[in-house]
Amino acid sequence: MGPVRVKGRAAASAALLALSMVGACGVDRTETDATSAPVVTSTVASSPSGVPDLGAPEEVAQGIDVPWGLAFLPDGAALVAERDTGKILRVAPGRPPETVYQVPGVVARGEGGLLGLAVSPEHAEDGYVYAYFTASADNRIVRFRLDGPPEVVFEGIAKAGNHNGGRIAFGPDGMLYVGTGDAAQSTLAPDPASPNGKILRLTPDGRPAPGNPNPDSPVYSLGHRNVQGLAWDRAGRLFAAEFGQNRLDEINLVEPNRDYGWPAVEGGGGAGRGYVDPVVTWTTAEASPSGIAIAGDTLYAAALRGERLWTVPLVNGSAGVPRAIFEERYGRLRTVAVAPDGALWVTTSNTDGRGDVRPGDDRILRFPAR
């Protein structure tokens, strides 16, 4: 079946309880089922020219242990998180990967471990790197300099063997956005008192960001099942990738104070009941979308179970017909990001316990901008 287009366009618990928002489970599905233009992505705020040449792959690194988060330093090198080891690697073309940090306290079980990375927009001045990871009691976010200890900036996100979310990214407004999962407890997603099943919006030091729907809460949007992709288009609109359960995965255009329907709705059909419909859906076999990035007017989505890269044209916040490339060529794809020079970086995820491991896995690919 082809892609289906759907019309549409540590914070304390007490703070979360202050939020007042509009708020059918089946068999659970994990990740297994589950032209020249400015660029704005989930990992870098820059405007290089050119578009990625998807016909010119370059292997930047191989032998990486479950690469998950990827964020670029000002010099163009990437920091890459190894989910299961808790290590952060520095990766650059023409150089072997180098371990530059070990995040303490990472508990890697199931889909948990060291997940998303983000580099401070003021990194040249403050040196901060941010990481989302699964600890012994929860999922949390820390920040650190590569030569110093971590500082917890947000904690208390429920953890589970799956549905941990984990993508973090600085938006064009300089705030830190966080995609969380419902921790396999679907009732948490519409609950304004829980940080789970949400997109959170934080200041760089982890407080509720100014302009949030409720000034005392980090919650930006709710009703999400498992968000693992965040990216902004050239107009500053936020898109998110979300795992469905048994039928449909989603790309959503995210707006503040909106409910995206989980668990009442999977895929489209919720608009008449006050929910926001996705702009794109796929069957779960075709996608299981994790990381996303936007270059010019194209959204790129890395598919795990689908083992392909989806390209989605964007026009004024609406989505055109998606097109699949690299079907089964590289296996499971986890993260996609646009570098400061406009190149598209893609990571595989075949060593995560659910893929067919190929020689050299896991690898990081680079598609240069032309």
Give the tens place of pLDDT for each residue, 255-295: 999 999 999 999 999 999 999 999 999 999 999 999 999 99
- By residue range, what is the domain housing residue 119? 4-19+27-367
At 206-257, the pLDDT tens digits run: 999 999 999 999 999 999 999 999 999 999 999 999 999 999 999 999 999 9
Task: Flag whether pLDDT at 160 surpasses 70.
Answer: yes
Task: Flag whether pLDDT at 26 surpasses 50.
Answer: no
Inter-residue contact 194 to 185 (CB < 8 Å): no
At 50-107, the pLDDT tens digits run: 799 999 999 999 999 999 999 999 999 999 999 999 999 999 999 999 999 999 999 9
Q: How many domains does the chain have?
A: 1
E runs forming strands in 238-359: 238-242, 248-254, 280-283, 289-295, 298-303, 308-315, 318-319, 323-325, 333-338, 344-348
At 161-216, the pLDDT tens digits run: 999 999 999 999 999 999 999 999 999 999 999 999 999 999 999 999 999 999 99
Task: Flag whether pLDDT at 33 surpasses 80.
Answer: no
* Residue 7 DSSP one-character state: -
Task: Flag whether pLDDT at 41 surpasses 60.
Answer: no
If one compares 306 and 10, the residue with the highest pLDDT of the two is: 306
pLDDT > 90 in the chain, percent: 86
Inter-residue contact 79 to 73 (CB < 8 Å): yes
pLDDT classification of 49: cutoffs 50, 70, 90: low
Total-model pTM: 0.90
Inter-residue contact 242 to 31 (CB < 8 Å): no
Query: Is residue 100 classed exposed, middle or buried when 0-12, 13-18 and 19+ CB atoms within 10 A define those classes?
Result: middle
- Closest alpha carbon to 112 in 137, 143, 88: 137
What value does the mean pLDDT of the chain take? 90
CATH of the domain at 280: 2.120.10.30
What pLDDT, on the 0 to 100 scale, is given for residue 48? Answer: 55
Inter-residue contact 130 to 123 (CB < 8 Å): no
Give residues with Cβ within 8 angstroms of 296, minimum separation 6. Answer: 35, 36, 37, 38, 39, 51, 234
